[in-house]
Structure 1
Amino acid sequence: MTGGTVTIPDISGLIIFTDLDGTLLDHQTYAYTEALPALARLRELQIPLVLASSKTAAEIIPLRRELGFAHCPAIVENGSGILEGDENATQSGDMYQSIRETLDALPPALRSQYQGFSDWSVEEVSRRTGLSLEQAALAKQRRFSEPGLWLGTDNSREEFVAMLTKKGLSVLQGGRFMTLSFGANKAQRMIEIARRHALETGHRAFTVALGDAGNDVAMIEQADLGVIIPNPGHAGIPRLAREDSGHIIRAAQPGPRGWNETIMSLVHTAAK
């Protein structure tokens, strides 16, 4: 089948990587109802679905189970960690305290212009994200990254990023939050999982990556086929070079509706 001008051989090696907020999940409501037909089709054809999100493992575990893909690994906290595909999966490593210590070592005048999840109560996280109190509590259970908001000027932001970069932290701007981490990104984790999948199945992995924001760009660009989901809630992703060759396409509709239409179209022809 084709996606743009890219040929997808068949479903044997197909593996889907997807962002959540603003992509599979509605930007405002976090609902995925409109994507139910495509989710059911992926389960029917046993095509792996790897959730790739800024969300924590505590958030991903119940959602992954609810979607019917508990057996698939997930990329958590913007690629800072991998949650293995198991009902009782755990993550190794804990970098959160080091991130907090690095952040708090900045000059107070600069540090005060950034507010992260650890600076906020559960109620404040809920208010700023639109999550329920229960979901916000799970979002605060971080191990690899610190999302937050920059409240200062552009010039101060450049200084903030430069100082953290010198200390080994990466700074990634997503659709809502600026996220700090020491870890890898979604693209690097996608490549790692795809290689493992190929070894386990004996088929070359063909990766499809869907996302809506800047923190998804590397993953979209590295995939065999990248899909940009429009999001009216923010500026979105500017035109990327690989769109000219058809290696990156754009969904016609935002959020789970566009996600559903794209996946159904890709899988329909690949399954023939």
Structure 2
Amino acid sequence: MSLPLLVFTDLDGTLLSHSSYRWDAATPALDTLRRIGAAVVLASSKTAPEIAEIRAELAWDHCPAIIENGAGILPPDSTDMPKTDSYVRLRHALDSLPAELRDPFCGFGDMTVAQIAQITGLSHNDAANAAERAFSEPGIWSGSAELRGAFIDALHDHGIHAREGGRFLTLSYGRTKADQMAALTDAFAPRHTLALGDAPNDIEMLQAAEFGVIVANPHRDPLPPLPGEDTGRITRTTLPGPAGWNGAVLDLIARLNLN
């Protein structure tokens, strides 16, 4: 029997509450997905240790996960850090920029675990996991918009792309959630695909799925209108975070008669 539904979901502000990092409000939909034999792929800017822990708590560790904004894949039932020199190369390129461009960007590699915990609201253990980067560098830009453009252009010369997420400007070598999504969709060959997200770095994933859901996040500006919203292929929730996620997933399951 083919997989009825393959779900790709962002975490912070989408499946996880922006403030508490909990998913309790989405439990009915998660239970229904399990019951109908669907698969859930977590797709986030989070690191392998972060996602491995969340995936295990959600009891979806039999599914792969997309880590660090699409820069890598965490295989099913694995907690191992990917072996790569991407992060070291990225940090070296970042530190080679002129001071006027480098100084306004404060990445996780520039912070202590305590500072990461403070700006994210994570526990010390979770912040330590967030610091274990393999591919990408989230950070905060404190300079002007003009300098930000020059910063991004200078990184492009090193093959590094900057993507705006729910909280941070994240630097990586350019692979996206949608890139990994395409490979996993080919591997699973589901009857239907669904993607849910709330931030600009989710747009490609939302557009690549058969169905997309923009989850309301009152803590950031809403995404602009996307192609497919006029036909109902892409919808928006009114409730934020896991409550909106829960309603959208249950509505689609009913719409597709997957029960």
Contact 1:148 1:178 in 2 (8 A): yes
Cα distance in 1 between the residues matched to 2:161 and 2:30: 33
Aligned-partner SS, 1:42:
helix
Superposition deviation, residue 172 in structure 1: 0.1
Superposition deviation, residue 22 in structure 1: 0.1
Question: Mean alpha-carbon deviation: is it higher for 241-250 or for 110-119?
Answer: 241-250
Q: Which residue matches 2:196?
A: 210
Q: Which residue matches 1:73?
A: 64
Superposition deviation, residue 86 in structure 1: 1.9
The TM-score, its normalising length taken from structure 1, stands at 0.91
1:36 aligns with 2:27: yes
Superposition deviation, residue 98 in structure 1: 0.4
Contact 2:105 2:141 in 1 (8 A): yes
Q: 2:162 aligns with which of 166, 171, 178?
A: 171
Contact 1:113 1:152 in 2 (8 A): yes
Cα distance in 2 between the residues matched to 1:39 and 1:164: 39
Structure 2 stretches lacking a partner, 5+ long: none
Q: How many pairs are equivalent?
A: 258
Contact 2:4 2:37 in 1 (8 A): no
Q: Residue by residue, what CA displacement relative to the aligned partner does 1:209-259 show, whole Å, maximum 9, x if unpaired?
A: 000011101100111111000100010211112211222111121100000
Cα distance in 2 between the residues matched to 1:254 and 1:12: 28
Q: 1:225 aligns with which of 211, 224, 232?
A: 211
After TM superposition, where is structure 1 displaced by more than 3 Å over at least 4 residues in a row? Answer: 10-13, 87-90
Aligned-partner SS, 1:103:
helix
The TM-score, its normalising length taken from structure 2, stands at 0.96
Q: 1:261 aligns with which of 247, 254, 257?
A: 247
Structure 1 stretches lacking a partner, 5+ long: 1-9, 199-203
What is the percentage of aligned positions where both structures have the same residue?
Answer: 45
Superposition deviation, residue 53 in structure 1: 0.3
Q: Which amino acid aligns with 1:27?
A: H
Cα distance in 2 between the residues matched to 1:196 and 1:11: 12
1:55 aligns with 2:49: no
Contact 1:206 1:224 in 2 (8 A): yes
1:186 aligns with 2:177: yes
1:151 aligns with 2:142: yes
Cα distance in 2 between the residues matched to 1:77 and 1:126: 18
Please show how residues 98-109 of structure 1 align to structure 2 within 5 Å: 98-109=89-100
Q: Residue by residue, what CA displacement relative to the aligned partner does 1:25-55 show, whole Å, maximum 9, x if unpaired?
A: 0011111110111111111222100000010
Aligned-partner SS, 1:229:
strand
